[in-house]
Amino acid sequence: MSVPSGQRSASRRALLTAAPAVLLVVLVIGAALLTALLQSLGFLPVFGEARFSTEAWADGASLLESAGVSLYLATASTALALVVGFLVAAYALTAGRGGRLVAALSAATIPIPHLVASGAIGLLLADAGFLARVLGMPEGFPQLVGDSWWAAVILEFAWKESAFVALVVLGGIGRPVAELTETAATLGASARQRMLHVILPLARVPLGVAGLVVFVYTLGSYEAPWLLGPVAPEPLSVRAVRLFGSVDLSSRPEAMATALTSVAVALAVIGLGLLLTRRSRRRSRAQSGVSS
C-alpha cells in the first residue's frame, strides 16, 4: 500500500488520533522496561551501590528451560482456548436461544480473576476434588493437579480464555455473521456447514488476534501455573515472581532478567503474529472488495 501525497495529511491526522494511546503506552511501558533492564544489570538497586553486572543473566540454562515450559503452556492453552472459544461463538450464532444462553454464560466467566479460577479448577480437579468425589473417589482418577503435563493449568487457561476468544469473535463478526448464517440456514445449510463454511472463514481475523492475545497473556500469567503446576520445573512467570518475592533482595536482578526474557519471547510472538494476521486480513479485505 503506497501513500499517495493526498493521503499524507490523512495519515498524519490518523497518527494524531492514535497519539494519546501510543504516548501513554510508550511512557508507562518504557519506564517499566527501562527500570527492569537497569535493575537486571545491577543498576537502580533497591539498596546499596549501583554496580554493573551481568550475573543475573548468567544462568542461561535455567532461563531456557523456563522459557520452554512457558512456551509449551502457552501453545497448548491457546490451541485449546481457540477451539473451544470458536465452538462457543459458532454455537451462539447458530443455535438461537440456546446459543445466546451459552454465549451469556460463557461471558459471565470472564470477570472471574485467574486466581479464583485457578482455585476453582483446583477444587474441581484435585485428587480429592469435586469431580473425584462425584465419581465416588475412584482409584484410577488421574492426577491432574501438579502433574508433569500441567493438565490442570492448561485447562484453567483454556477455560478462562475460551470465553475471551468467544467474546472477541462475537464482537468482531457477530452482527453480519448472525444474519449470514440465518440466510444460510433458510437456504438449508446444516449447523456444521454454517460453522465451517460461513463462520470459520469470517472468524479468521478475530481468531488470529484473540489467539495472539491469549498466547501472550498465558505466557506472562502466573497464578494458574503457580497454584496448579508442579514445583519444578517452573515457567518464566513463576520463576520471576518467586525470585521477585524472595526474602533476599539480591535476587531482584535475576527476577528482572527472567521477566525481561518473558517480555522478549512475548514481543517476538506478537511481531510474528501481527505479520501473519496483517497478511490474512489484507487478503480477506482484498477479497471482500472493501477499501479503507
Please give the residues from 52 up to 81 whose contact with another protein meets the rule CB under 8 A. Answer: none
Rounded distance, CA 254 to CA 41, Å?
9
Q: Is 257 in the site for another protein (CB under 8 A)?
A: no
Considering only residues 42, 206, 235, 253, which one is a binding residue for another protein as defined by CB under 8 A?
206
Q: Say how far residue 220 (Cα) sits from the centre of its chain.
A: 9
Angle between helices 60-94 and 151-186 (to 10 degrees): 30
Interface residue with another protein, options 129, 211, 235, 253 (CB under 8 A): 129
* Choice from 67, 73, 151, 168 touching another protein (CB under 8 A): 168
Examine residue 5 and tell whether it contacts another protein (CB under 8 A). Answer: no
Q: Give the total of residues touching another protein (CB under 8 A).
A: 155
In this structure, the number of other CB atoms found within 10 A of the CB of residue 56 comes to 22
Query: Are 234 and 153 within 8 A, CB to CB?
Result: no
Distance separating alpha carbons of residues 131 and 119, to the nearest angstrom: 14
Closest approach, Cβ 248 to another protein, in A, equals 4
Q: With contact defined as beta carbons under 8 Å apart, do 276 and 84 qualify? A: no
User: How far apart are the C-alpha atoms of 49 and 11, rounded to whole Å?
Assistant: 48
Give the nearer residue to another protein in terms of CB position, either 79 or 132: 132
Q: Is 109 in the site for another protein (CB under 8 A)?
A: yes
Instruction: Confirm or reject binding of residue 202 to another protein (CB under 8 A).
Output: yes
**Of the candidates 3, 6, 60, 139, which one interacts with another protein according to CB under 8 A?**
3
DSSP code, position 139: T
Q: Residue 174 Cβ, how far from another protein at the closest point, in Å?
A: 5
Q: From the CB of 283, what's the least distance to another protein, in Å?
A: 10
291 binds another protein (CB under 8 A): yes
Which residue, 95, 91, 101, 97, is CA-closest to 169? Answer: 91
Is 153 a binder of another protein (CB under 8 A)?
no
Taking a C-beta distance cutoff of 8 angstroms, is the pair 102, 88 a contact?
yes
* Stretch touching another protein by CB under 8 A, among 51-59, 71-79, 193-201: 193-201
Query: Applying CB under 8 A, does 1 fall inside the site for another protein?
Result: yes
Among 69, 73, 93, 121, binds another protein (CB under 8 A): 121
Q: Which three cell numbers stand for residue 68?
A: 520452554
Count of beta carbons in the 10 Å neighbourhood of residue 202: 19
Q: How many C-beta atoms lie closer than 10 Å to residue 113's C-beta?
A: 10
- Our finding on whether 171 is near another protein (CB under 8 A) is yes
51 belongs to the binding site for another protein (CB under 8 A): no
Work out how close the CB of 54 gets to another protein at its nearest, in angstroms, rounded to a whole number.
18
